[in-house]
Amino acid sequence: MATASGGSPARRRANAFDLGGKVAVVTGAASGIGQAIAVKFAEHGARIAAFDLTREALAETATLAGGSLETFACDVSRADDVGAAFGEVKRRFGRLDILVNNAGVAHIGSALSTDEEALDRIYQVNVKGVFLCTRAALGLMLEEGAGVILNLASIASFVGLPDRFAYSMSKGAVLAMTRSVAIDFVKRGIRCNCVCPARVHTPFVDGYLAKSYPGREAEMFQALSEAQPIGRMGRPEEVADLALYLCSDEASFVTGAAFPIDGGVLAQ
């Protein structure tokens, strides 16, 4: 049986997954997985700084999360934006305990069909954006001597996916950054992990189907769902549940890890 540091049997806290008193930045919080994480964390007591390109885009998230959420306009690919936003987080909240690097963009194409502009855009948001926000967050967390960083990677961090060259490149980088930050700061009270979803039903999926398969959306939605062994896409709320665990004190022994949430894809 696992024991606590004092030698007595470890006991589960009565208020498991409580984020009360903690301040969390969630990027890309206007919809999909980012919105679900922001709302879930707010439900468990965290004060949320929700980042997206505009405050207007965050209106629905703010309504769902209630009074514990404040909105910030921030383009994570721009160093000036990121510096200003995290400075405002420090001014408004006085501290930072959790960063969720969720903001990201997708791209469809192989190494042959991906042009330089598309590759640069993916890199700027999915790689540079994670770096900029992580660097800014570390400065605040080190003041407290503790913190948690959670990155949104992908099953594309592990396996090749057809026509996802640039996207897979970026998510492989997210996995590598996760492990690097975990090792560099493990002795300074900061944990860093990532979650690696397969296909999750978000507004992006609906937009992709409407654009690529007009009139066949329902048919293609079913085909994409059945491509995963479990027979359906994931739900943003399911990813948020995993994020809650990893950012809570229940995961205090977990760092440098990558958690697939994939409906069985990687088990094939």
Question: How many domains, the chain?
Answer: 1
| 6 part of a folded domain | no
Tell me the per-residue pLDDT of 179-205, one tens digit each, with 9 for 90 and over: 999 999 999 999 999 999 999 999 889
Digit-by-digit pLDDT tens for the chain (268 residues) are: 444 334 344 555 668 899 999 999 999 999 999 999 999 999 999 999 999 999 999 999 999 998 899 999 999 999 999 999 999 999 999 999 999 999 999 999 999 999 999 999 999 999 999 999 999 999 999 999 999 999 999 999 999 999 999 999 999 999 999 999 999 999 999 999 999 999 999 988 998 899 889 999 999 999 999 989 999 999 999 999 999 999 999 999 999 999 999 999 999 9
Residue 123 belongs to a domain: yes
Q: Is residue 131 part of a domain?
A: yes
pLDDT on residue 2 = 45
Please pick, among 167, 208, 213, 245, the residue that the annotation labels catalytic: 167
Residue 90 lies in a domain: yes
In a domain, 66, yes or no: yes
Helices (H), the chain: 32-43, 59-65, 79-93, 116-122, 129-144, 165-185, 203-212, 217-226, 236-247
Domain that holds residue 65: 23-198+234-261
**pLDDT for position 145:** 97
Domain for residue 3, yes or no?
no
208: annotated active-site residue: no
Residue 254, domain member (yes or no): yes
**CATH number, residue 181:** 3.40.50.720
C-alpha distances out from residue 36 to 157, 169, 199, Å:
22, 25, 15
CA distance 186 to 136: 17
The CA-atom distances, in angstroms, between 149 and each of 5, 69, 250 are: 24, 19, 15
Domain annotation covers residue 86: yes
Over the stretch 110-119, which tens digit does the pLDDT of each residue have?
Answer: 999 999 999 9
**Residues in contact with 91: Cβ distance below 8 Å, sequence separation at least 6, in sequence order:** none
Whether 104 contacts 126, CB under 8 Å:
yes
